[in-house]
A and B are shown apart, each in its own frame.
Chain A
Amino acid sequence: MSDFVDRCREEWKRLGVPDEAANEMAADLETDLQEAQGEGVSIEEVLGRGAFDPAGFAAAWASERGVVPTDPVAGRTRKVPVGAALLTLAAVVVFLLGLAVLSGRASTHVALQSQVVRPAGGGTVVLPPPRLFRLRPRLRVVPRVAGIPPTVAVVSVRRAVRPFGWLLLLLGAAGVVTAVVYWSRQFAALRRA
């Protein structure tokens, strides 16, 4: 008889019946069946044809009692999709940020002021920038402005943030792929329900 009650419990769990209602029905049924057994009454005499179909019996009872959620999957996981939706949104934003950083045309250059030397014989000689800065492809040499030190570090922001862009892109892509897998499973579970 406890096998019958266990099968009922499984069905109530599958249907998403709240634990409180399921426990109450299981306890009532078990007590009734034990009393019947003690009096020599078979389970068939108590439950009729329902004795041969525990899942059907359990589903009918829970349904008639009004304790079967209309959307059992949503009922069990209502809190999870909210968090999952936020994480999905975050992944998409990170991915798009990565794309924006990598494909952005805006870049900032800090110019290197040229060293201007005026020889005693007249004329002007513009010295090339230090070797270090010559290696930088985005270096620009501009006329010196009075009051500003002769050399200023040259930085291409675009180049500097490129690794960061790749990092965002990869993280975002991983998040999006995970989200696609997660939501596919959610929708499959909904269709099965």
Chain B
Amino acid sequence: MRGVLDLCLLSVIDEEPAYGYEMTKRLRERGLPVVGEGSIYPLLGRLEKDGLVETYRAASNGGPPRKYYRASARGRSELAEGVSEWQATRDSVDAVLRPVEAEVAE
């Protein structure tokens, strides 16, 4: 799931830059409320270290300056590749599980 969470984070900030808690909210709105062990912060730290995200500071709705994250060019490339792999994996798993689903339906 670690790699999948990376993809989810890259995906939400590819649409629009966001700060840490804002990302948590976006994930929750899309049905991913539990981020699991260690939350998103260590993941963001790794994405930043690996050059997959860029950061900048800006005020948020008149509040204190926040650290915003946005996908870098390399991050977007990794995201596209990761989404493609995820879809291929999902299709393969779906194909394996489809007979089981049919049995349960009957």
- A45 CB-CB contact with B under 8 Å: yes
Q: Are B42 and A63 in contact (CB under 8 A)?
A: yes
Q: Are B36 and A28 in contact (CB under 8 A)?
A: no
Partner of B67 from A28, A35, A62 at Cβ < 8 Å:
A28
Nearest residue, chain B, Cβ from A51: B39
Partner of B38 from A25, A32, A49, A66 at Cβ < 8 Å:
A49
A35 to chain B, nearest CB (A): 5
B25 to chain A, nearest CB (A): 8
A189 to B69, CA, bound (A): 38
Q: Are B21 and A32 in contact (CB under 8 A)?
A: yes
Q: Are A66 and B21 in contact (CB under 8 A)?
A: no
Q: Are A64 and B39 in contact (CB under 8 A)?
A: no
A67 to B46, CA, bound (A): 11
- B48 CB-CB contact with A under 8 Å: yes
A57 to B38, CA, bound (A): 5
Contact with A along B38-69 (1 / 0, CB 8 A): 11011101101100000000000001101100
Partner of A65 from B28, B39, B45, B66 at Cβ < 8 Å:
B45
A47 to B39, CA, bound (A): 4
A121 to B62, CA, bound (A): 123
- A99 CB-CB contact with B under 8 Å: no
A147 to B33, CA, bound (A): 109
A36 to B24, CA, bound (A): 10
Complex interface: chain A residues within 8 A of B21 (CB)? 31-33, 35-36, 46
Q: Are A28 and B20 in contact (CB under 8 A)?
A: yes
Partner of A49 from B36, B64, B66 at Cβ < 8 Å:
B36
Complex interface: chain B residues within 8 A of A35 (CB)? 21, 63
- B34 CB-CB contact with A under 8 Å: yes
7 contacts between A and B (CB under 8 A): A36-B24, A46-B24, A49-B36, A57-B39, A61-B41, A64-B49, A65-B42
Q: Which B positions have Cβ atoms within 8 angstroms of A?
A: 19-21, 24, 28, 33-39, 41-43, 45-46, 48-49, 63-64, 66-67
